[in-house]
Structure 1
Amino acid sequence: MLLGRPPNDMDVVMFADIPLAIEQSLQPLDVKILTNNHWIKANYKVDFYLVELSVNPETLIELSTYWYSMWSHRRTLQWKGFLSVRLDPGFDQEASTLLGIRRQELQNEQN
């Protein structure tokens, strides 16, 4: 809390290698969770963006540069930090449970 208040949201860019079999098995809600930024922000207070690692190298570089430039500094030109988190499928169920708990907390805050 550098600004003396909690943040309004969290900014997340996920670089992911999504195998074709998984991509084809996604249900409509799964796709919504991965691509509907407005829905994600409303439900989880997260600005979330997905970058697939399967894009061509030039596009991957452009997107990486773009996201770095978007969030590397505050409007005051003060540096901001980044956190890299490796995702492990072995923790998917626990993560899903924690997200459900957090979503319920956010809904309770709004009521």
Structure 2
Amino acid sequence: MAGILPPVRPGTNPAGPDRSPYTVSLHDLVNRFATSPERAAILEGLIDYRADLYKIGIVDGFQWVNGSFLEDIETNESRPPNDIDVVTYIVIPSGYSQASLLPALAPLMDKKATKAKYKVDAHVFDLKQVTIPNVCYWYSLWSHRRDGLWKGFAHLPLDPAKDSTAQTALVRMTASGFGS
């Protein structure tokens, strides 16, 4: 009703487990949010960002995605989203240490560069070094809008094998004019 993902799935137990972050596939995210050229460009950037993670061997982990991209910002603020906010929790590939992976990973952690290249406001954390305060920080930051409205966000598993279906769906939706 407020143009946001609800923090708890409507009609379910408010203290139950069916709540944010909602686990969805990249394909589901594309099918739901590729509704305009601006949104398609952001999704294309996210797909490219994930592909570049895979190229350096990061294939295990997940992403939390949020921001105005997951809201009906077009109605609420009369503008399209500018980017998508992404926290990527990774498993360092075997054979690498955090230090040895850092040179390849650094460009994918540079907020200014990732916003320019991918339209992704990126944050990356090694799951082995994630602390409860880190998770609590992101959950509490992302579970509310700046105006205090409680909201939900999405959890996307990293899955190189399935990302190509999302890319195909995005191309199809873009070619069809977003259902118009």
TM-score band by shorter chain is 0.5 to 0.7
Of structures 1 and 2, the one with the larger relative CO (CA 8 A, separation 6+) is 2
More helix by share: 1
Are 2:133 and 1:62 aligned?
Answer: yes
- Deviation, 1:43, is 1.4
Write the letter of the residue equivalent to 2:84: M
Matched, 1:89 2:160: yes
The equivalent position to 2:148 in structure 1, one of 77, 80, 98, is 77
Unaligned runs of 5+ in 2: 1-71, 168-180
For residue 10 of structure 1, report the CA deviation from its aligned partner: 0.9
Does residue 1:47 correspond to 2:121, yes or no?
yes
Q: What is the CA-CA distance between 1:22 and the residue it aligns to?
A: 4.5
Shift of 1:5: 2.6
Q: RMSD between aligned alpha carbons?
A: 3.1
Partner-residue secondary structure (3-state), 1:64: helix
- Which residue does the alignment assign to 1:101? none
* Partner of residue 12, structure 1: 86
Which segments of 5 or more consecutive residues in structure 1 lack a partner in the other structure?
99-111
Q: How many pairs align?
A: 94
Whole-angstrom distance in 2 between the partners of 1:40 and 1:22: 23
Length-normalised TM-score, structure 1: 0.65
The percent identity for this pair of structures is: 43
Report deviation, 1:62. 1.2
Query: Normalized against structure 2, the TM-score is what?
Result: 0.43
